[in-house]
Every structure is written in structure tokens, then in C-alpha cells.
Chains A and B, each alone.
Chain A
């Protein structure tokens, strides 16, 4: 089971979808799960109506959207085994309670459903388009958090087998997606720290998405800088300078951004390496391009092979 997380807007849904497509195409029975019912997953997979009940949207590729109420219903059916269930009436009221008041219960219902699919071996791999960086710890660590808070009860007993799955490095991992910008990178490093120091869930990979290509690379950078300064200082004769001035100024912006990016990517790579975590970067893909998910999927395939 892979939890794909990242700061909002870095492309984690696209990445999770691409990974799921790749995995299904390689013959693995794959379940991809959207945790926040926003419909972004359906959009990324060019399909419609992804619901709680999983549906095969392509060969070997199953998709579902998490829904706490449905999950609670299923949970009660499977575990509480209370004959009164049918008389509970609308579960919505109980859900209110679950969602608002009892810490970690909403999370555990969602994570419990995921772990259940893993335990029953219904799929070869479960890929989760998970909560954003700020909430992912509460999500993957819900069983541990809850078992500390609750002394007895059905839920407490349930947390044990869930933790066994979540804490098994060969079964569960977190993939952190980021863009090469300051705040997302800092958040990623903080998250790696938190996951490592506060939880027993391991990190599988750090992915830098939307990395820009070099405008000029290596030793050519010095020449580029030399050109810029000789145009600005008036050292260059007016004929080449006049056609180069605008383009150089424009590309200086991109070069500077790229320089910042390279620094951040190095910081990320070092951090991942120290922790023995896979690090990869994906060049920017035009969002307007049809099928960004498929494009990313083929990029991933090349990158991973």
C-alpha cells in the first residue's frame, strides 16, 4: 500500500493516478483510492463517477473514493455484528459525532477500509491519493494515535492488525510529492522528520514534480552570466547587444529560478539519501496537454526502469 501525499497543488493526484496506471499496465491488480472526495481522481483518470464501491475503470485498474459514512456502514456490518444495525436509522447523525467529536475515528474508518483491502489481499497494490502534508500523519498513524487514547473497546482491538500492516516496511510506504519551491520542499523535509521520529510508518520515495529543464547547463552558465554582464556594462558592441539584450534579460529570470531549484533539489536529494529513501524528479509536463496522467506514467516507467 502506498500513501501518496504532498502540499496542496504539487500534483499528487496526477502522480498517484500515473503510478496506478503504470502498475495496472504492468499486470498488477491495482486499487487507487481518492481520500478527499473532490473528484480530482476521476478527472486525472479520464473517467466519471468514482464512488465508494470500487469499479474497474481499465484492465486491472480499480478506483474508489473514500466516504466515511459508507465506510462506517461497512465497518459496522463487518465488525460490530449488531443485529440492531438496521434500526439505527440514518447513520448521518452518528457520523456527525464520529467526524466532529471523537479524535481519529474518522481517520481510522478510512484507513481501516484501506488496511482491510490489504489484509484480504483483494489487490496486488493499493495506491492512496492521501491527505495533504499537514494531515497525513493523522491519517497513516490513526490506529497508533487512537490506541493511545482509547483504553478498551472494539476500535481499540481493531487498531492492532491495522498497525501490523501500516508498520510493515514491506507492506506500506509513504510517497511524498513536492515541487522544487521553497515552502513545499521545507514541508517535505519536515514531514520526513516527523514520520521518522513520531511514527513507525516508512517513507518509500520523495518525488520532485514540475522540475524545469536547464536553460543553459554546466560550464555554459558562466558564459551566459558573462554575456549578461557584458551587455549590461556596455562592453559588448551595440550590434550583437541590441538583439541579445531582451532575450538575455528574459532568460535571466528562468536561469535564476533554475538555480534556486537546483539548490532545493540538492537539499532534498541529500535528505532522502541520508534516510535511504528513493528520490526522483519529473520534468514539467504541460498541464494543457491531453492525458498528462499517461504522459507522467510513461515518464515514471522510464525513470523506474
Chain B
């Protein structure tokens, strides 16, 4: 499925990647709102850091770890409420970890011990890319639920955006590692294990024996949950590679996000994930740029003509601007347009290059025009989703 609409209509899972600041979260929500409208789907949008504006538009007090349904009336588009429905949730790492531990712990005692362990909070925040792991975990859980037909997840802002996809594998490796075996082997036998000796000499020396035993206790508890974690990691990996899962890369036409998306396109392909579409976001409409380019010459000439300025002054008489003021504004408009047209040509070039890269990677390039008005309500999201079109 390389066609974006087909994915939104029939897909089960969409993973949205891209560098920070390109409008990934808004795009995820827009595609979700559109799918609920156009294809009667029950869509869950999972996000990491939603903007206040987006939460407001969705009528949500705030995004939380729990899933909430977006009010149907807010999703009105062309005077119709969606036949499907839209849900949203934010991934809160700490809360999700607590839930995961509660579910995987073999008994209440272990669960309580882990949750109250002094190191637990620190460790879940840091080890084996725990944010990434938890995002994958939430995604899997949602995808398995019969409450939703389609899950759209916008990936966390990793240093490397694809770390998130490696997280299940890392978790498996962690459980299989020598490190964990060393840590959880009996304190007694440690002393006699020649292989482990240098390791513990350094660790004891640097960290202090007490700290080491705190860590050991935690991992001994953690290890009792191995089975649950490893099984889940395998399932998550399978879901990510499934044919009903499609990846979308979102970018703007600025140099840094473009470099990032070129990298993502290649990497997704190398790892045999299914890259369906690439969306160039906040693109100035080509038609508008052509219009501006066409009128630019006449505008620059007209500015010199006092009669033109007079006519413009006349049209804004309620403000009673001076001719001088109007001339200044019109001048600024002409200059700004000239710059924008120049930039538009650069962007067109970049879009073309991105299109070629998509072709090579077997993906389809789409564009989403820059917003001309502020995002106010969820129905704007439907319109944005609807406006995404092939480049």
C-alpha cells in the first residue's frame, strides 16, 4: 500500500517519523481525523508531545496517558459529523512503565518491590532507551485492541529517530546479556568467578559495594519478568513488519529536516520496514507562487505610480492611512513577495529532489500546503488531512 488514502482506509497501523518541529503531531492527528471522516474508521492517535494548540483544538483538557475520545461534534466537516470516531492519548513514560511492571510481575510482592525500588525511577528513565521501548509497547497494545481499526503513532523525538524501532530488539538483548547474568548471579559465587572478577573490582571500587547491591537487587527482581518482556518484544517486532503497517516520513523543505528525512527513507528501507508515503509539510502552494510571480513585475511598476497608491489609499479609507504609509506597506509587500518567490524556486527544487529519492525507495511523495489560518478546531484537522495530495 503506497497510496496514502488506501493506507488510511485499509491499514491497521501507521508509524509517523520525521525530525522535530516539522508538524508531525498535527499531521498524525489530521490524518486520523480525516480517516474517521472519509473512511468511517475508529482511529487512535498516540502522540508524544502534543502542542497546547492541538489539545485545545481536540477539545481535550490535556493529553494524558489514558485514551480519550474526541467529541464527534468538534470533528464536523462539510456539516457532517464523522461516521467513524477518533481517540487520542499521550505516551507518559513513567505511568506506562508502572502499568507494564504491574502486568508483567509474577506476583504482587515483586510488583510492589520493583515499583518502590529507589533505583526504579532512575533506571526506567534511562536504560535501554526506555522511552522508545514504552512507545512501542503502547503501540502494540493499542493495535491489538478491537476498539480501534487504525492506530497512528507519532514517534518520540529520539536522537536517532529510528532508535525507537530497535527498542524491542534491545530489550531482548538486554535480558540475554552477560551484564544481567553477572549482576544477578549469587553474590557468593561472584567472588570465585574469575571472569567476573575484574568487572567487580572496578565496579566496587568506583560505585561502592552498597550501590552495587542496590542495583543487583533491582535487576534480580526485574529478571523475574523476563518471559513477559521478551515475548512482548517479539510480538512488537512482528507487528512493525506486518504488511498492514505503513511508515510515513514527514518533513518540511528546510535543509535540516530534509537531511533527516533522506536518512530516514534509506534507513527504513535498509531495515525492511514498509515506507508508504513521504509528506512534505508547510509547502507554499505552487499556484499561489505562480500568481505572485506573475503580478510581481506589474506590482513593482505600479508602486512608482502615484495614482496606484492613491487608489489603494482610497480602498482603505476607514483607516485613513497617509499615502506615505500605504506606499511603505505596498513596498514591503513587493519586497517580501520577491523574496518568497525566490525561496519558492529553491523549495520546488528541493521537492523535486525529494521526489526522486522517494521514487528510488518505492515511496509516494505527498505535499501539504502551509496553513493560511490558525488551527482552531478539530474540523480544521479533517480539512488538513483532506488537503494532503500527491506531489
**For residue A150, which residues in chain B have a CB less than 8 angstroms away from its CB?**
207-208, 210-211
Query: What's the minimum C-beta distance from B62 to chain A, rounded to whole angstroms?
Result: 12
Cβ-neighbour of A230 out of B209, B289, B315 (below 8 A): B315
Cα separation A227 to B298 with both chains bound (whole Å): 17
Assuming the A-B contacts A145-B122, A150-B211, A154-B206, are A219 and B325 also in contact, with contact meaning beta carbons closer than 8 angstroms in the complex?
Answer: yes
Query: What's the minimum C-beta distance from A241 to chain B, rounded to whole angstroms?
Result: 8
Central interface residue in B51, B302, B332, B370, by most chain A CB within 10 Å: B332
**For residue B157, which residues in chain A have a CB less than 8 angstroms away from its CB?**
7-8, 132, 134
Query: What's the minimum C-beta distance from B264 to chain A, rounded to whole angstroms?
Result: 14
Find out whether the CB atom of B202 lies under 8 angstroms from the CB atom of A239. no
Assuming the A-B contacts A156-B208, A182-B53, A223-B329, are A84 and B340 also in contact, with contact meaning beta carbons closer than 8 angstroms in the complex?
Answer: no
Central interface residue in A152, A220, A227, A236, by most chain B CB within 10 Å: A227
**For residue B302, which residues in chain A have a CB less than 8 angstroms away from its CB?**
240, 243
Find out whether the CB atom of A250 lies under 8 angstroms from the CB atom of B289. yes
Cα separation A260 to B205 with both chains bound (whole Å): 54
**For residue B110, which residues in chain A have a CB less than 8 angstroms away from its CB?**
none
Cα separation A137 to B277 with both chains bound (whole Å): 37
Give the tally of cross-chain contacts (CB within 8 A): 217
Cα separation A150 to B209 with both chains bound (whole Å): 10
Assuming the A-B contacts A154-B206, A182-B53, A236-B311, are A8 and B159 also in contact, with contact meaning beta carbons closer than 8 angstroms in the complex?
Answer: yes
Find out whether the CB atom of A184 lies under 8 angstroms from the CB atom of B21. yes
Find out whether the CB atom of A287 lies under 8 angstroms from the CB atom of B205. no
Cα separation A100 to B177 with both chains bound (whole Å): 11
Find out whether the CB atom of B292 lies under 8 angstroms from the CB atom of A97. no
Cα separation A242 to B312 with both chains bound (whole Å): 12
Cα separation A134 to B48 with both chains bound (whole Å): 13
* A49 interface residue per 8 A CB criterion: no
* A101 interface residue per 8 A CB criterion: yes
Query: What's the minimum C-beta distance from B283 to chain A, rounded to whole angstroms?
Result: 11
Query: What's the minimum C-beta distance from A101 to chain B, rounded to whole angstroms?
Result: 6
Query: What's the minimum C-beta distance from A210 to chain B, rounded to whole angstroms?
Result: 10
Find out whether the CB atom of A287 lies under 8 angstroms from the CB atom of B19. no
**For residue B207, which residues in chain A have a CB less than 8 angstroms away from its CB?**
102, 105, 150, 153, 155
* B295 interface residue per 8 A CB criterion: yes
Cα separation A224 to B321 with both chains bound (whole Å): 10
Cβ-neighbour of B179 out of A8, A101, A145, A154 (below 8 A): A101
Find out whether the CB atom of A247 lies under 8 angstroms from the CB atom of B295. yes
Assuming the A-B contacts A8-B159, A244-B333, A247-B337, are A87 and B254 also in contact, with contact meaning beta carbons closer than 8 angstroms in the complex?
Answer: no
**For residue A100, which residues in chain B have a CB less than 8 angstroms away from its CB?**
127-128, 174, 179
Interface size on A, residues (CB 8 A): 76
Chain B 180-217 against A: per-residue CB contact (8 Å), 1 yes, 0 no?
00110000000000000011011101111111001100
Cβ-neighbour of B316 out of A134, A226, A246 (below 8 A): A226
Tell me the B274-306 residues at the A interface (CB within 8 Å): 284, 288-289, 291-292, 294-296, 298-299, 302
Find out whether the CB atom of A9 lies under 8 angstroms from the CB atom of B256. yes
**For residue B328, which residues in chain A have a CB less than 8 angstroms away from its CB?**
220
* B20 interface residue per 8 A CB criterion: yes
Chain B 316-344 against A: per-residue CB contact (8 Å), 1 yes, 0 no?
10110100011011101110110010000
Find out whether the CB atom of B21 lies under 8 angstroms from the CB atom of A251. no
Cβ-neighbour of B333 out of A138, A145, A248, A288 (below 8 A): A248
Query: What's the minimum C-beta distance from A71 to chain B, rounded to whole angstroms?
Result: 12
Cβ-neighbour of B296 out of A216, A231, A247 (below 8 A): A247
Query: What's the minimum C-beta distance from A134 to chain B, rounded to whole angstroms?
Result: 8
Cβ-neighbour of A239 out of B127, B128, B182, B311 (below 8 A): B311
* A285 interface residue per 8 A CB criterion: no
Query: What's the minimum C-beta distance from A224 to chain B, rounded to whole angstroms?
Result: 5
**For residue B177, which residues in chain A have a CB less than 8 angstroms away from its CB?**
96
Cβ-neighbour of A287 out of B125, B254, B329, B334 (below 8 A): B254
Assuming the A-B contacts A220-B332, A245-B291, are A93 and B199 also in contact, with contact meaning beta carbons closer than 8 angstroms in the complex?
Answer: yes
- Select from chain B the residue with minimum beta-carbon distance to A226: B316
Cα separation A149 to B372 with both chains bound (whole Å): 52
Find out whether the CB atom of A103 lies under 8 angstroms from the CB atom of B122. yes
* A169 interface residue per 8 A CB criterion: no
- Select from chain A the residue with minimum beta-carbon distance to B118: A149
Find out whether the CB atom of A153 lies under 8 angstroms from the CB atom of B210. yes
**For residue B314, which residues in chain A have a CB less than 8 angstroms away from its CB?**
237
* A173 interface residue per 8 A CB criterion: no
* A80 interface residue per 8 A CB criterion: yes
Cα separation A156 to B207 with both chains bound (whole Å): 8
* A82 interface residue per 8 A CB criterion: yes
Chain A 135-157 against B: per-residue CB contact (8 Å), 1 yes, 0 no?
00010000001000111111110
Cβ-neighbour of B122 out of A134, A149, A249, A260 (below 8 A): A149
Cβ-neighbour of B21 out of A9, A216, A219 (below 8 A): A9
10 shortest A-B CB distances, which residue pairs?
Answer: A153-B208, A246-B291, A103-B122, A236-B315, A226-B316, A247-B337, A246-B292, A230-B315, A243-B295, A243-B299
A75-B206, A87-B198, A153-B211 known, 9 other contacts, Cβ within 8 Å = A7-B157, A38-B159, A101-B127, A149-B119, A223-B321, A244-B330, A245-B295, A250-B336, A250-B340
Which positions in A face B, CB cutoff 8 Å? 7-10, 36, 38, 75-76, 80, 82, 84, 87-89, 93-94, 96-97, 100-105, 132, 134, 138, 145, 149-156, 179, 181-184, 186, 215-216, 219-220, 222-224, 226-227, 230-231, 235-237, 239-254, 256, 260, 287-288
